[in-house]
Structure 1
Amino acid sequence: MTSFGLTDEHQMIAQTVRRFVEHEIYPHEAEVERTGVVPPELAAEIKRKTIEMGFYACNFPESVGGAGLNHLEFAIVERELGRGSMALNHFFGRPQNILMACKGDQIERYLLPAVRGERMDALAMTEPGAGSDVRGMKCSAQRDGGDWVANGTKHFISGAEHADFVIVFMATGEDQTPKGPKKRITTFLVDRGTPGFTIREGYKSVSHRGYKNMILDFDDCRLSDAQVLGEVDGGFEVMNEWLYATRITVATMCVGRARRVFDYALDYAATREQFGQPIGKFQGVSFQLADMITEIDAADLLTLAAADRLDKGLPANREIASAKLYASEMLARVTDAAIQIHGGMGLMDDYPLERFWRDARVERIWDGTSEIQRHIISRDLLRALGA
């Protein structure tokens, strides 16, 4: 594991979370993979143990009851969580940082209960016809008297089946610009059970079984101004301030999962014999191992460096995009190479490699596709030259 100048405290955080994942998450992965369900009592147990460790909502400041980890420290936590099942790690508890935008009564109703683990949240942005085009969203909220009336559909909403409330981005108007119509976006806090708001089963995914995606339907759902997070038509400001670093989470978890996959490949190469010697002795295998660990370390350093820039208050949009792009594509190469080293056994469910292989595919899509990351990177480079 690359150190990146990590302190003893950083190493302690990594070791503590890794031990938790190994002892509390690994033993239940096969059953969740088989059934596609996390039993409620197991979810409650994981949450309880996380709270006891002092790591629940560790991404929130101490002023609201969180552990107050900075971006680098939180990246280390997410990296170690990446080794385990996302369906189970969901209950380790990392509420959306966007809740720090809560004001007034919202603090007691949403922010503090989420930090304490009393209420769970989910973030809803993606729509069937919009995807990466946030400005193209059709889910809207229109003024009606003193309230808002919301209509439309969101999909691919992770964790919504467990959510007590959902953070939803909706179109609330439109401006005419030289480049055409530009939608105004507002963020709303919507409680489960609100009339006109339905959470239903999503699609069956081959990646991350048990970590479900849900569909949210809004049918003349009435919302009050008290449920607006931030300012009316200020959804992009809220998004840019609080969701800026979510791509680091994908990158760090890819690194953690890649290290677990590599450990399987390394052990197999050292113990599996062919032609009277361990297969790791053959250059065709040993060179694959060398490439794998080099790519993993490179992704780790990219990710930690991006988090460190955030902590130092430096611009990091390009660096975060580079980390997300490289780490997610690295994970695909590493899982594929690990299966190749295992041969046919790598595709059997006796090993978890085929699961990691399937899980790796979605990382290049959610939280901004690889194409979106390349767009962010290239625009940052060219903009400085006026192009």
Structure 2
Amino acid sequence: MDFGLSQEQQMVVDTVRDFVEKELYPHENTVEELGYVPEELTKEIRQKVLDLGFYAANIPEEFGGGGLDYVTMSLLERELGRASQALSVIFGRPSNILCGCKGEQVEKYLMPAIRGEKIDCIAMTEPDAGSDVRSMKASAVKDGDDWVLNGTKHFITHADEADFAIVFIATGEEETPRGKKKQITCFLVDRGTPGFEIREGYKCVSHRGYNNSILNFDNCRIPASQILGEEGKGFDEANTWLGATRLTVAAMSVGRAQRCFDLAVNWAAERKQFGQPIGKFQGVSFKLADMATDIQAAEYLTMGAAWKLDKDLPADQDIAMAKVHATEMLARVTDESLQIFGGMGLMNELPIERFWRDARVERIWDGTSEIQRHIISRGLLRPLGA
């Protein structure tokens, strides 16, 4: 693995960081106060990303996207992680699973998503089906050439802005050596479809403005032509395209931690107590040393996992390690940064308390820390027959 950045990768880092600092940072306080991103601001940011040529950078070139490899995409996500989640999501990375579109779906969903004309959201989680996705109760029944969907999804981020939802729903059962398991099918469901309701979700302590929604399906009828992939093969489609989402969380955690750390270092150098900068005190300087080490370790884990994906090497364990370490590192760095800032760290005049709040959700979504440890330990024990 080459630890140096190519000229193209350095250009991506410099361009995205400049965009984040100039176009996103200035609006963070507004989003925090309002709890949403104003529609005109969303349109303005999206158009600037399109003009920059970075929209849909995660989509392979063969489908019309930017075609960035995993390492370069992780560098891009790291830079976006520095900004408010509600603003950085506008940078435009359509769900990769749309690459599974076929026939008319390509022009109806994939291409508009790549051009920034339509926004998608992924709906999988339910009130009684979080980590155990196969326990979902929402179901779809075939009726002629249509499917009728019923049930509820929640914690669906960005659904308030989405033009359509990528919905995973139970469509039957299959026998397995471990008993019956639900077959999951993926559907493309347009906003405004009769029987499909998008409701305001819960108030979350993390990532204000990046809102979650509740999706209700009440005899929602959609044609079979809107199945993404094959009937009953929704997990196969997800595993093909969505495997790197946890790597995205890791990369963004590294970027957010670095921004928080930079603020803490500057504060430790400038803030004086007892006649000298507080960074002179070992109690503070050792915190900084540990934080710097923690961040760099998380970055190496993240880039190493991305490198394996680019080389088509098995990377499930590496991604899990990156995700669990980077998100828990972010929690430690934001907490220690707040401690260094003291009382001011808790005040909303500074972004430290926001970083601290925002960090909490990273250990839960896209697979909890416990799930990541299960993946890691399973990979260690299964070859030994345990």
Q: Is the TM-score greater than 0.5?
A: yes
Cα distance, 1:370 vs. partner?
0.2
Match of 2:139 in 1: 140
1:54 aligns with 2:16: no
Q: Distance in 2 between matches of 1:96 and 1:43?
A: 18
How is 1:11-50 mapped onto 2 (pairs within 5 angstroms)? Answer: 11-50=10-49
| Unpaired segments ≥5 residues, structure 1 | none
| Unpaired segments ≥5 residues, structure 2 | none
Cα distance, 1:179 vs. partner?
2.4
Q: Distance in 2 between matches of 1:197 and 1:189?
A: 12
Cα distance, 1:178 vs. partner?
4.0
How is 1:169-184 mapped onto 2 (pairs within 5 angstroms)? Answer: 169-184=168-183
User: In the alignment, is the contact (CA less than 8 A) between 1:153 and 1:217 conserved in 2?
Assistant: yes
The letter of the residue matching 1:335 is T
Cα distance, 1:213 vs. partner?
0.2
1:125 aligns with 2:124: yes
Q: Deviations over 1:201-221 (max 9, x none)?
A: 000001000000000000000
Match of 1:306 in 2: 305
Match of 1:237 in 2: 236
The letter of the residue matching 2:343 is G
The letter of the residue matching 2:354 is R
How is 1:44-83 mapped onto 2 (pairs within 5 angstroms)? Answer: 44-83=43-82
User: In the alignment, is the contact (CA less than 8 A) between 1:165 and 1:190 conserved in 2?
Assistant: yes
Match of 1:224 in 2: 223
Match of 1:364 in 2: 363
Q: Distance in 2 between matches of 1:63 and 1:310?
A: 18
1:112 aligns with 2:111: yes
Q: Deviations over 1:352-387 (max 9, x none)?
A: 100000000000000000000000000011111111
User: In the alignment, is the contact (CA less than 8 A) between 2:174 and 2:181 conserved in 1?
Assistant: yes
Q: Distance in 1 between matches of 2:342 and 2:198?
A: 42
Q: Distance in 2 between matches of 1:115 and 1:313?
A: 25
How is 1:127-276 mapped onto 2 (pairs within 5 angstroms)? Answer: 127-276=126-275
Q: Distance in 2 between matches of 1:349 and 1:73?
A: 34
SS in 2 for 1:214: strand
The letter of the residue matching 1:203 is Y
The letter of the residue matching 2:3 is F
Aligned residues: 385
Q: Distance in 1 between matches of 2:190 and 2:62?
A: 25
Q: Deviations over 1:294-327 (max 9, x none)?
A: 0000000100110110000000000000000000
Q: Distance in 2 between matches of 1:211 and 1:159?
A: 7
Q: Distance in 1 between matches of 2:177 and 2:122?
A: 31
Q: Deviations over 1:76-127 (max 9, x none)?
A: 1100000001111111100000000000110000000000001110000100
Cα distance, 1:64 vs. partner?
2.6
List structure 1 segments (4+ residues) > 6 angstroms apart after TM superposition.
Answer: none
User: In the alignment, is the contact (CA less than 8 A) between 1:201 and 1:213 conserved in 2?
Assistant: yes
The letter of the residue matching 1:378 is S
Q: Distance in 2 between matches of 1:123 and 1:4?
A: 34
The letter of the residue matching 2:157 is S
1:84 aligns with 2:83: yes
User: In the alignment, is the contact (CA less than 8 A) between 1:269 and 1:278 conserved in 2?
Assistant: yes
The letter of the residue matching 1:321 is A
What is the RMSD of the two structures over their aligned residues, measured on CA atoms? 0.9
Q: Deviations over 1:212-244 (max 9, x none)?
A: 000000000011111000000010110111011
Q: Distance in 2 between matches of 1:51 and 1:210?
A: 22
Q: Distance in 1 between matches of 2:31 and 2:266?
A: 25
The letter of the residue matching 1:345 is M
1:323 aligns with 2:325: no
User: In the alignment, is the contact (CA less than 8 A) between 1:4 and 1:301 conserved in 2?
Assistant: no
Q: Distance in 2 between matches of 1:233 and 1:249?
A: 27
User: In the alignment, is the contact (CA less than 8 A) between 2:63 and 2:99 conserved in 1?
Assistant: no
